Structure 1
Amino acid sequence: MEKSDIINFSALEKELHAALEADRKYQRENDAKFRALHQNVASYEEFRDIVLASHLKPLDKNDISGAPRKQPWNTVAAELKHASHSHELVQPQLTEIKPRSTSEFSRDWRRFGGSSYEKYNLLLKLGGKTLQKIFSTEVCFGLLGEFLLILSQCLKSGDEETVIGVLDGLSKTGRFGLNLSLLSQAEQKACEELFNRLGEYYSNYNDSPVMSLDFSEPLGVCEVRHVETDVNDILVKLKALMEKYGIQN
């Protein structure tokens, strides 16, 4: 038996646990959102704290002392430590990633760790339509803001139309308006900067005709001509998306 034919059961078990934990995390945070809404929290920060603390265990009813359970003093560090175990797996290749659900996406997303460009390439590879299907119910808590930060930071020339497709797909996910309202100031700023860059690109592109070669002439004669490239449809779509994302023209 060749080495490539050997099944790594340990790796499969880790992936299974990661997928189950991602699903449990989604359910916990979803329940916490409804609790926070019913409590009529006074601010976004309070709402976010309730959701982020959804993984903490409540007071043990059998504890007669009434003392709360001990929790790690630094819950963020604890989460990072837990996440580091998930990154023990070899970072996957983009061609290998084909998530079909939020839990599968969360598992693959975490496996890229802090690599913004890998995550950026993953978003573009999946595209808007696939992301819309994956997050048909809603984008997991906090992910929409992270997507916008990464798209804004990593946007490069040639990706503009694909990025617009990603933004379009995300705008059609469940509870988009709620997730949009929960963006932090930094995430809102990144969103605005992203749309401004996209708008500037297509405005300048529309003013500059594309040059192409006309090979319809006899051999040896090559005429350079202007090709009118109409990007009005993209600009109209971009303007509509800006309204959906709450960006002022």
Structure 2
Amino acid sequence: MEKSDIINFSALEKELHAALEADRKYQRENDAKFRALHQNVASYEEFRDIVLASHLKPLDKKDIYGAPRKQPWNTVAAELKHESPSHEVVEPQLTEIEPRSTSEFSRDWRRFGGSSYEKYNLLLKLGGKTLQEIFRTEVCFGLLGEFLVILSQCLKSGDEETVIGVLDGLSKTGRFGLNVSLLSQAEQKACEELFNRLGEYYPSNNVSSVMSLEYNEPSGVCEVRHVESDKTDILVKLRALMEKYGSQN
């Protein structure tokens, strides 16, 4: 038997456990959202705390004096802090990742740990249409804000059109409006900065200058008209996305 034919059952078992845990996490947080809505919580912070604390058992939600225990804002970071130092995280190769469901995506996303650049490349590799299909029900709680922060931090020249495609695909996922309303102030700021940078690449005055060039250069009419049309379409899409994401540019 060749080495490539040997099945790594240990790795398969780990992936299965990760996928099951991702499914349980999604269902748990989804149930917590509905509970919070039915309880008519008084503020967004209270709503978010209920969802973030959904993984705790009832007895864990009180301290030794019986008072409600404050939950950390970033529970994922808190869990990682208590992770065993011997826990080995093997970073996957981007070419190997082809998630087709929320559980598969969550598994692969976690495997990149704190590598924003790798996560950025993953979002661009998948593209808007694939992300829309993966998150057709909804983007998992907290992920939309993380996506926006990473896209804002890592955006580089030449990626603008692909990033707009990613934003467009995410805007067509289930419960998108609710997820936007739950963005933190830091995530909202990252969203603003992202659209500001995209707007710099597709300014309105560029369209008029291209139209002028088309009129004065008859020999290049067909080529210039195509460029102007593409730029205009992207600019229209960008403005529509700014409205969907609540960006006040």
- Shorter-chain TM band: 0.7 to 0.9
What is the rounded CA distance, in whole Å, between the counterparts of 2:159 and 2:136 in structure 1?
24
Runs of 5+ consecutive residues of structure 2 not aligned to the other structure: 211-219
Corresponding residue for 2:35? 35
- Paired residues in the alignment total 228
Q: Which residue number in structure 2 is paired with residue 12 of structure 1?
A: 12
C-alpha deviations, 1:76-108, integer Å up to 9, x for none?
A: 5652157779x7352111111111110110000
SS at match of 1:99: coil
**Which one has a bigger Cα radius of gyration?**
1
1:25 partnered with 2:28: no
- Greater helix proportion: 2
The structural deviation recorded for 1:206 is 4.5
The residue aligned with 2:174 is 174
List 4+ stretches of structure 1 deviating above 2 A: 1-5, 73-78, 81-85, 87-90, 204-209, 225-229
The alpha carbon displacement at 1:7 in A equals 1.4
Q: Give the equivalent residue in structure 1 for 2:193.
A: 193
1:152 corresponds to = 152
Distance 2:139 2:91 in 1: 23
SS of structure 2 residue aligned to 1:49: helix
2:139 is aligned with 1:139: yes
| Contact persistence 1:11–1:89 (CA under 8 A) | no
- What is the rounded CA distance, in whole Å, between the counterparts of 1:171 and 1:141 in structure 2? 15
C-alpha distance in 2 between matches for 1:239 and 1:32:
34
CA separation of 1:95/1:146 partners in 2, compared to 1, >3 Å: closer, same or farther? same
Contact 1:152 1:191 in 2 (8 A): yes
Task: Answer yes or no: is 1:123 the counterpart of 2:114.
Answer: no
Preserved CA contact (<8 Å) 1:36 1:50: yes
Supply the distance in 1 between the matched residues of 2:199 and 2:77 (Cα, whole angstroms): 39
TM-score in terms of structure 2 length: 0.83
Q: Is the 8 A contact 1:128 1:167 kept in 2?
A: yes
1:57-96 correspondence to structure 2 within 5 Å: 57-59=57-59, 79-80=79-80, 88-96=88-96
- Whether the 8 Å CA contact 1:139–1:176 is kept in 2: the answer is yes
Query: Where does structure 1 lack aligned partners over 5 or more consecutive residues?
Result: 61-65, 210-224
Q: Secondary structure at the match of 2:202?
A: helix
Change (3 A) 1:82 1:175: farther
> Over residues 95-122 of structure 1, what are the superposed CA-to-partner deviations in whole Å (9 max), with x where a residue is unaligned?
1111111011000000000000100000
Matched, 1:44 2:44: yes
Q: Which amino acid aligns with 2:190?
A: A
CA RMSD between the two structures: 2.8
Q: The residue matched to 2:99 in structure 1 has which SS?
A: coil
User: 2: distance between equivalents of 1:80 and 1:47?
Assistant: 23
* CA-CA distance at 1:50 after TM superposition: 0.5
AA in 1 matched with 2:194: L
Change in CA separation of 1:157 and 1:195 when aligned onto 2, cut-off 3 Å? same
Aligned equivalents of 1:208, 1:158: Cα separation in 2:
21
Q: The residue matched to 2:183 in structure 1 has which SS?
A: coil
